[in-house]
A and B are shown apart, each in its own frame.
Chain A
């Protein structure tokens, strides 16, 4: 119950902190987990270790889900569709009320970054285990976030201040920023309304098509411009802040292996990292979180170019899917730290570097041989790997029916070793014993990736999977 995040060198920092005894009445007795699947299970596990009672909420489609069985209490909160259940704020609040929960953990996705939900929890005297509504808001709006970062002295992707009013403005801005530039739809996502422009000759054509595409895809043809970061790697920094103003970082995760902007593999340390870059990025991440007085755990995402220049992309004001990677290399339970911070405990303020090498593969119920088409259905056989250096976070079991209503991730497998080479080797070995039958999974994809020469060399960026072919 003392300080969190004190370094595992045997130093009893806990005895030095004056905040230690003041918070007995803000300790949680019962936490409702407003989520499902593996993250719900993850939170329940830590709550059990902390002696905190748990309430699971579930839709009618998740009646047989593992998180429902592992929790102390469970409340059905609606029909299968997320909008009727996991996104239904009144239903979730009613469940918290009838079970007398004093805390709500939102997990990731769903309502985790919904400022209004965080506000409503506060209005009902239920502690939202995460940052404040204002902190969520300030990072939720990309333009505000960028302005806040510029003011804080955090490097951002150079670009224009707002929407492009005309082709002439686009041309003159591009001259300032320097080619190549990227045009992006302000209402956009999924790559629509995005065009990379390599030179002034190409600007007019791309400006017009980007606007047209944005208009048809999002009913909003507003576009803005940023410098196009060449061969970018996605490297993010895990941070933690307490309510007393202290912020620290727990180093990086490299999440460059992405397909259509969805992460598939994450690792720490990044094969591209140097001690000097880690120091600069860590400092920038702390500046970013401190600029909004961030309280809870969170992640600052950066794009890093081939020259090791890094640029703020966005901040995720929640626990992330890939938090396990950091847990394994720094040896902290980040959910526990998150709960302790929410209980009003102070962090040590120290930063933490990776002590091991960890790689996480996200196993999705998708067919990698057919364009990763989703494959819900019943798991008929399941055998999970084990052995030294393997961790599996998963909510599925033999006989479980994967519902079609939610995302396709069914497990996270993490390999931990002293070197990257050994971690890849352990992962390969474990994947070869991982048996999931009845549905298609991305296990074969990860097996091939672990044997890919460029991946093994650490030679990849976010474009990597565009040219990767399943054999």
Chain B
């Protein structure tokens, strides 16, 4: 729902948690029609309530992320073309969430092409700061998938 609207950013504050949803910017040239399937997970996996820790420790950094990516942040890019999935199967938890640590070799997502599921491994060490692609959407070669703050 959020994706179809033109909302850039929404912040909701309630007792106990603060929710910030940021729309990723899609470059116009590379619009790819999303395949028609039922999404494997609930609509907004990347904004699960367990965000406050990340927000409390570095609210300034998160706010800045919306405006400009710090130079040292690394982007994990897609090594292949296919459909991006956050978890290994419908209902299973995502490989990584914002705030999780990754090390080289740790699976971060699956990219499926022609019925073959490929686990994509991180090549860097750091912390996931942002998930750049919606679950179950098509990705192309070199497409940025995750933003990582290097350790």
Residues of chain A having any CB pair with chain B under 8 Å: 60, 68-69, 73-79, 85, 90-91, 93-95, 97-100, 124
Contacts and interface: CB of A to CB of B under 8 A. Distances in A.
Contacts of B113: 90, 93-94, 97-98
A98 B32 contact: yes
The range of chain B's interface size is 10 to 19
Interface of B: 29-33, 35, 80-83, 113-114, 138-143
Contacts of B114: 90, 93-94, 97, 124
A76 B138 contact: no
Contacts of B80: 91, 94
Given A98-B82, A98-B113, 16 more contacts: A68-B29, A69-B29, A74-B29, A75-B138, A75-B140, A76-B30, A76-B81, A76-B142, A77-B141, A93-B114, A94-B82, A95-B81, A97-B113, A97-B114, A98-B138, A98-B139
26 contacts: A60-B141, A73-B32, A73-B33, A74-B29, A74-B30, A75-B32, A75-B140, A75-B141, A76-B81, A76-B140, A76-B141, A76-B142, A77-B81, A77-B140, A77-B141, A78-B141, A91-B141, A94-B82, A95-B81, A97-B113, A98-B81, A98-B83, A98-B139, A99-B138, A100-B33, A100-B35
B99 to A, nearest CB: 29
Contacts of B140: 75-77, 95
A77 B78 CA distance: 10
A85 B33 CA distance: 21
Contacts of B81: 75-77, 91, 94-95, 98
A403 B142 CA distance: 19
Contacts of A94: 80-82, 113-114
A94 B114 CA distance: 6
Contacts of B139: 98
Given A60-B141, A76-B140, A98 B35 contact: yes
Among A60, A97, A124, residue most surrounded by chain B Cβ atoms (within 10 Å): A97
A117 to B, nearest CB: 14
A111 B33 CA distance: 25
Nearest to A95: B81
Contacts of A95: 81, 140
B84 to A, nearest CB: 10
Contacts of A124: 114
Contacts of A99: 32-33, 138
A152 B140 CA distance: 47
